[in-house]
């Protein structure tokens, strides 16, 4: 997701200001006339539950259920965070936790995987984007809440959990056993292949921009200043902090818009541009490829869209997830908050990626993965989520645009394995950088 934070002090000040401003009688009358009957229904249901339900029901449970119901009626990404949820979110963007390393969402009562974190226990066990988790330790979880499922999947490091997965293209469910580990939030990794640097960003937690800058410096040192190409790998990155998506994009742009957002009111509209006080394009003159896939969502799509629209990089892989909305975290108290969708974001050229996602310049399937071949390139994306926001900017493109042409795409996983290729998309990007003149890549237009 792409998150923005409203400071608690500001939120408290706003609440205080509202409380201190007396409402006019006319204003209250208008509110009562408009909402009174609906609130009466809500109160009537509450009273019936309290007096007639088969067992006593805690008020906190009813109120939280009512709040969650309101938010669930809006879109899949708005939610109420109680003390536990709020702390979990802080942990995911700032610290570490014991668990599996999965980004999940709720889709019509089922828990669906957005993406496993690269190198996590879930990733090593073969859990993939688009999988549905139907059972945990043999117990059906359909119809429960996302919080309940996440709580069950987290736990002390070293303990084992069993997941039952449903995967499109498979007739039988998949059973996996995973040992929980401490999931350290190390979102940036790097390596050198020949004279090509590869920077992998698995999530947009705190300090991603500075860590990516440090990774690039180490790559330059490793190659002795003879860097001939750069690959930014955003595959399976479910997003995170909006400011870190802007910071990462800014590293490779001298100037221009990175992303803009538009909301219901003018106060929600904002444009983020490359800052003149930063070093500018740290890889200036070096051809660049960005790898994306169906698990690249939100903040990842901001970076990919910015570098594509500014003609700074060639995008390879497969169409991204298609989450083009911004969630603002609004603290309610010291330990509770509202995560509310407040705006849509747009690439520098004005494209909305909501539903449709980002198209790669060169569509490259991950044919080294036999499961993806069985799924016939059909992935689950934002447009498959129940209640997703509709893209108000329509185009005449087919949403299933991941067409394949290159004869190399016909190779089988077995043939690739025999050649020592376990990541075909990365291999293809390296081959492209090695065989294409830097000027041709740098000047490529959409």
Smallest CA-to-CA distance from 310 within 291, 288, 294 is with: 288
Q: What is the C-alpha separation between 62 and 70, in angstroms, rounded?
A: 12
In angstroms, the Cα distances linking 111 to 80, 104, 135, 136, 335 are 18, 7, 10, 11, 26
Length of the chain: 446
Q: How many CB atoms lie within 10 A of CB 223?
A: 15
Q: What is the C-alpha separation between 160 and 181, in angstroms, rounded?
A: 10
Smallest CA-to-CA distance from 291 within 241, 371, 361 is with: 361
The one catalytic residue among 203, 205, 296, 298: 298
The one catalytic residue among 131, 309, 359, 369: 309
Burial 352-361 (b: 16+ CB within 10 A, else e): bbbbbbbbbb
User: Does residue 286 contact residue 374 with C-beta atoms inside 8 Å?
Assistant: no
- The two tokens of residue 188 are 């940036």
Annotation says 423 is catalytic: no
The arrangement of strands across the sheet holding 314-317 comes to 188-193, 196-201, 229-233, 288-292, 314-317, 362-363
Largest CA distance in the chain: 78
Residue whose tokens read 């444009």 = 271
The one catalytic residue among 79, 323, 325, 339: 323
Annotation says 323 is catalytic: yes
Smallest CA-to-CA distance from 298 within 349, 340, 373, 352 is with: 352
Annotation says 410 is catalytic: no
User: Does residue 223 contact residue 319 with C-beta atoms inside 8 Å?
Assistant: no
Q: What is the C-alpha separation between 91 and 409, in angstroms, rounded?
A: 40
CA neighbours closer than 13 Å in the CB half-sphere of residue 364: 23
* Residues acting as catalytic residues: 298, 309, 323
């Amino acid at each position: 997701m792409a998150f923005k934070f409203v400071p608690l002090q500001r939120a408290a000040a706003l609440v205080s200001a509202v409380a201190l401003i007396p409402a006019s009688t006319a204003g209250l009358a208008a509110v009562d006339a408009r909402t009174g009957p609906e609130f009466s229904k809500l109160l009537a249901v509450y009273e019936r539950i309290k007096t007639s339900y088969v067992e006593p029901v805690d008020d906190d449970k009813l109120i939280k259920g009512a709040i969650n119901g309101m938010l669930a009626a809006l879109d899949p990404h708005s939610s109420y965070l109680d003390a536990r949820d709020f702390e979990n979110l802080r942990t995911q963007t700032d610290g570490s936790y014991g668990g599996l390393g999965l980004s999940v969402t709720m889709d019509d009562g089922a828990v669906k995987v957005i993406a496993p974190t690269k190198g996590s226990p879930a990733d090593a066990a073969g859990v993939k984007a688009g999988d549905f988790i139907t059972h945990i330790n043999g117990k059906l979880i359909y119809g429960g809440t996302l919080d309940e499922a996440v709580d069950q999947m987290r736990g002390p490091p070293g303990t084992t959990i069993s997941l039952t997965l449903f995967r499109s293209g498979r007739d039988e469910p998949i059973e996996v056993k995973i040992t929980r580990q401490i999931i350290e939030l190390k979102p940036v990794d790097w390596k050198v292949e020949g004279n090509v640097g590869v920077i992998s960003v698995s999530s947009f937690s705190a300090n991603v921009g500075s860590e990516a800058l440090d990774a690039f410096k180490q790559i330059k040192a490793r190659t002795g200043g003879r860097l001939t190409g750069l690959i930014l790998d955003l595959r399976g990155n479910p997003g995170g902090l909006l400011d870190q998506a802007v910071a990462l994009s800014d590293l490779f742009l001298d100037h221009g818009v990175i992303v803009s957002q538009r909301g219901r009111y003018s106060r929600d509209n904002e444009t983020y541009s490359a800052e003149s006080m930063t070093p500018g394009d740290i890889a200036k003159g070096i051809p660049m490829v960005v790898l994306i896939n169906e698990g690249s969502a939100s903040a990842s799509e901001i970076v990919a869209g910015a570098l594509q629209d500014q003609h700074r990089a060639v995008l390879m892989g497969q169409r991204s997830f298609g989450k083009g909305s911004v969630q603002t975290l609004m603290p309610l108290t010291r330990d509770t908050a509202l995560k509310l969708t407040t705006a849509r974001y747009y690439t520098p050229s004005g494209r909305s990626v909501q539903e449709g996602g980002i198209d790669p310049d060169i569509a490259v399937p991950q044919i080294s993965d036999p499961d993806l071949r069985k799924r016939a390139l059909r992935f689950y994306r934002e447009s498959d989520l129940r209640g997703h926001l509709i893209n108000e900017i329509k185009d005449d493109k087919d949403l299933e645009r991941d067409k394949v042409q290159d004869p190399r795409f016909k190779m089988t996983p077995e043939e690739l394995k025999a050649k020592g290729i376990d990541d075909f998309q990365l291999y293809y990007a390296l081959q492209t950088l090695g065989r294409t003149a830097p000027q041709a890549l740098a000047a490529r237009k959409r």
